[in-house]
Amino acid sequence: MEHTGSYYAATRNFATDYPRLEGTQRADVCVVGAGFTGIATALTLAERGYSVAVVEANRVGWGASGRNGGQLINGISGLAKIEKRLGPEYADLLWDIRWRGNEIVIDRVARYAIDCDLKHGFVEVALKKRHLDYIQEYAEERAAHNFPHRYELWDAEQTGANLGTSRYMGAFACYRDGHLHPLNLCIGEARAAENLGVRIFEQSPVVAIDHGANPRVRTETGHVDADAVVLAGNAYLSLQQKELTNLVFPAGSYIIATEPLSAEIVEEINPLDVAVCDLNEIVDYYRLSADKRLLYGGRCNYSGRDPASIAKAIVPRMLKVYPQLKDVRIDYEWGGKIGIVLNRIPAVGRIQGNVYYCQGYSGHGVNATHVMGEIMADAIAGTLERFDVFASTPHFRIPGSQTFGNQIIALGMLYYRLKDML
């Protein structure tokens, strides 16, 4: 399939047109899926001298990686739970993991001159008293780590002045986080990987994997024989059902893009050009694009059915924050699938020793996928310390069908929605 009708697809720097996989290929590592997880893994491996083939069912960045909010936010979902389980001696390692994805993205954008509108600044906004407690803790945590990058606590008045809305009680701004055009990052990284010798195949759905000392990754028209395989299909993956089914649940997530806003409105609602996300369990998030559209995301759907009109579902949420936008045109609306794991910790592991998987970022993956790419590459080279932090996590698989699992997840999310309302 071709890209969805997103703002990102309409403004990508170039269209990728890699060949279909035909006949036999041989590589040290075969990566299945060319989103951030797959491309970050391939690029890291290529930087280290491995020969790599990436096999993508659609186009590079076709999945969540080319459709997301573009918010580059530190952390990996579930890290706090991991620290609780492993103990305080892991605190420093987990703190490094938390920031490593940002470092990789910032470094690669500079090193490979990737034009993806990277901006620094991400603001978490408080809608209730308990959110003010969270942001206070964020500031204290950074102070305790002597965090070397700029961060700020904003009171209600500063928040109103910086974001042009009276909706919030306060905010926490961190300038080591930021925002970017995710599809341009993904295709830019793919080009960097290609320049290092990575072979990329598009429009080539993988239909099966034959296991063994040299696993064979098969499509309808060809195959790759490799020493190791990395499955990076996240919420779109349906391979290895026996091991992976009912572990990660696809949920729909949706975004709208307004028409480009006037300079006066931009100055009023986001003069610092930061990304914004609220602190609810089911978040609303937004930012300006390079051409000054408001990109607003804010709804999840666990039933597997997209809303009849994405704009109708999201515009009222946007107007609660910015009533002054009531007459703006909505130029784009789109959705994509995020992979939710019950305990919110990414599902990482390997099957029969040499088929690795890494998926389920619970909607927070721009940074996480990049550190995971490095963790996968380390694991393939035999360094398992960070891999084991995730792979040793026990995951509960909901018995029964995937549909039943999705219903359980939907029920869980109802609980979170109610919590947000309190």
Ligand X SMILES: Cc1cc2nc3c(=O)[nH]c(=O)nc-3n(C[C@H](O)[C@H](O)[C@H](O)COP(=O)(O)OP(=O)(O)OC[C@H]3O[C@@H](n4cnc5c(N)ncnc54)[C@H](O)[C@@H]3O)c2cc1C
54 binds ligand X (CB under 6 A): no
- Report CA torsion sign: 177, 183, 184, 188: positive
Q: Which range binds ligand X by CB under 6 A, 78-86, 157-165, 240-248, 362-370? A: 362-370
d(Cα 341, Cα 409) in Å, to the nearest integer? 9
58 binds ligand X (CB under 6 A): yes
Q: How far is CA 279 from the centre of its chain?
A: 18
Query: Which residues, listed in sequence order, are joined to residue 421 by a DSSP beta bridge?
Result: none
CB nearer to ligand X: give 285 or 356: 285
CB nearer to ligand X: give 55 or 171: 55
# residues near ligand X by CB under 6 A:
46
Least separation in angstroms between residue 72's CB and ligand X is 7
Which distant-in-sequence residues (6+ apart) come within 8 Å of 50 by Cβ?
Answer: 28, 29, 377, 380
Least separation in angstroms between residue 244's CB and ligand X is 11
- Letter for the amino acid at 153? L
Confirm if 57 and 203 have CB atoms less than 8 A apart: yes
CB nearer to ligand X: give 164 or 335: 335
d(Cα 107, Cα 127) in Å, to the nearest integer? 34
CB nearer to ligand X: give 35 or 405: 35
73 binds ligand X (CB under 6 A): yes
Q: How far is CA 414 from the centre of its chain?
A: 23
d(Cα 135, Cα 132) in Å, to the nearest integer? 5
Distance (Å) of CA 12 to CA 93, 148, 231, 317? 36, 33, 26, 27
Confirm if 14 and 187 have CB atoms less than 8 A apart: yes
User: Scanning residues 14 to 53, which ones bind ligand X (CB under 6 A)?
Assistant: 32-38
71 binds ligand X (CB under 6 A): yes
Count the neighbouring beta carbons within 10 Å of the beta carbon of residue 15. 11
- Letter for the amino acid at 306? D
d(Cα 222, Cα 200) in Å, to the nearest integer? 13
184 binds ligand X (CB under 6 A): no
Instruction: Work out which of 29, 56, 154, 386 binds ligand X, going by CB under 6 A.
Output: 56
Instruction: Work out which of 41, 44, 234, 270 binds ligand X, going by CB under 6 A.
Output: 234
Least separation in angstroms between residue 181's CB and ligand X is 12
User: Scanning residues 319 to 348, which ones bind ligand X (CB under 6 A)?
Assistant: 335-338
Confirm if 175 and 121 have CB atoms less than 8 A apart: yes
Q: Which range binds ligand X by CB under 6 A, 61-69, 138-146, 340-348, 414-422? A: 61-69
Site string for ligand X, 243-262 (x = CB under 6 A): ----------x-x-------
Least separation in angstroms between residue 71's CB and ligand X is 3
d(Cα 105, Cα 181) in Å, to the nearest integer? 12
d(Cα 347, Cα 306) in Å, to the nearest integer? 25
Confirm if 83 and 93 have CB atoms less than 8 A apart: no
User: Scanning residues 285 to 314, which ones bind ligand X (CB under 6 A)?
Assistant: 285, 297
Q: Which range binds ligand X by CB under 6 A, 57-65, 89-97, 104-112, 164-172? A: 57-65
55 binds ligand X (CB under 6 A): yes
Nearest residue (beta carbon) to ligand X: 365
Q: Which range binds ligand X by CB under 6 A, 18-26, 258-266, 347-355, 363-371? A: 363-371
Q: How far is CA 212 from the centre of its chain?
A: 31
CB nearer to ligand X: give 248 or 269: 248
Residue 106 in tokens: 């910032």
74 binds ligand X (CB under 6 A): no
Closest among 193, 199, 240 to 30, alpha carbons compared:
199
CB nearer to ligand X: give 159 or 253: 253
Least separation in angstroms between residue 389's CB and ligand X is 18
Binding interface with ligand X (CB under 6 A): 32-38, 55-58, 62-65, 67-71, 73, 205-206, 232-237, 239, 253, 255, 285, 297, 335-338, 359, 361, 363-367, 369
